[in-house]
Amino acid sequence: MLTKSKLAITLSKLKTFENPDLQSEQYATDSESAALILWNAFMNGDVEGKAIADFGAGTGILGIGCLLLGAKSVYFVERDREALAVAEQNLAAVKEKINGNYELMLRDVRNAEVKADVIIQNPPFGTKTAHADREFLLQAFEAAPVVYSFHKTATALFVERLAAARGFSVTNRYGLSLPLKQQHSFHKRKIHRVEVSCFRMERT
């Protein structure tokens, strides 16, 4: 039986972005935060046996965690070819530990055209491209009845309002302090933490 700490260890061994693209806000979720959210999702009954889509999958940590926890299938939707190639290597590294199906989809989430039981996403926070977070949310609400989505805690009201306007309500909120590693020269401190919340939303 997989435990939360074993999950965190496996996830910590995955490769991350080689040349992160700042404009696309390519920040990988750290393995501790990913394990915490995925474990909660698993306990909420949202992972085992479910068809899941990981929007803006990057190097795949969230979707791979779902497969490790018994998801039936995972779609990895990502527009960056290099990131998806790393996700593919990461999947190869855990193939002995997973049974579910998966598909790597090189495309923009706005053209995702997938339906799933659950969406999990750590999208761009919209700091570089205005409304990127909004587009991910709107797409997720179309694609599944249950959505887990990471946002800056300061934008909670925006998330709640948009969810309500689309017939969703926030059922759970998990507060995180996400480390953003120094990946770009203008970052002054080595590790900068950002207050983020993962929202679980359900169609009402």
Sign of CA dihedral 16, 191, 56, 175: positive
Cα gap 143→146, rounded to integer Å:
9
Q: Counting contacts by CB under 6 A, is residue 35 touching ligand SAH? A: no
Of 7, 28, 47, 146, the one binding ligand SAH (CB under 6 A) is: 28
C-beta of 66: minimal distance to ligand SAH in Å? 12
Of 10, 29, 31, 149, the one binding ligand SAH (CB under 6 A) is: 29
Residues in CB range of 9: below 8 A, 6 or more apart: 31
What are the distances in angstroms from CA 103 to CA 8, 117, 135, 161, 203? Answer: 23, 15, 22, 32, 25
Q: Of 120, 100, 111, 102, nearest to 53 (Cα)?
A: 120
How far is Cα of residue 191 from the mean position of the Cα atoms in its chain?
A: 21
Radius of gyration of the chain from Cα atoms? 16
Nearer to ligand SAH, 101 or 127 (CB): 127
Q: Counting contacts by CB under 6 A, is residue 139 touching ligand SAH? A: no
Q: Counting contacts by CB under 6 A, is residue 80 touching ligand SAH? A: yes
Q: Counting contacts by CB under 6 A, is residue 26 touching ligand SAH? A: yes
Q: Counting contacts by CB under 6 A, is residue 57 touching ligand SAH? A: yes
Binding mask 93-112 for ligand SAH (x = CB under 6 A): ---------------xxx--
For the record, the structure tokens of 70 come out as: 């018994």
C-beta of 187: minimal distance to ligand SAH in Å? 16
Nearer to ligand SAH, 21 or 164 (CB): 21
Q: Which residues bind ligand SAH (CB under 6 A)?
A: 24-29, 56-58, 61-62, 78-80, 83, 108-110, 122-124, 132
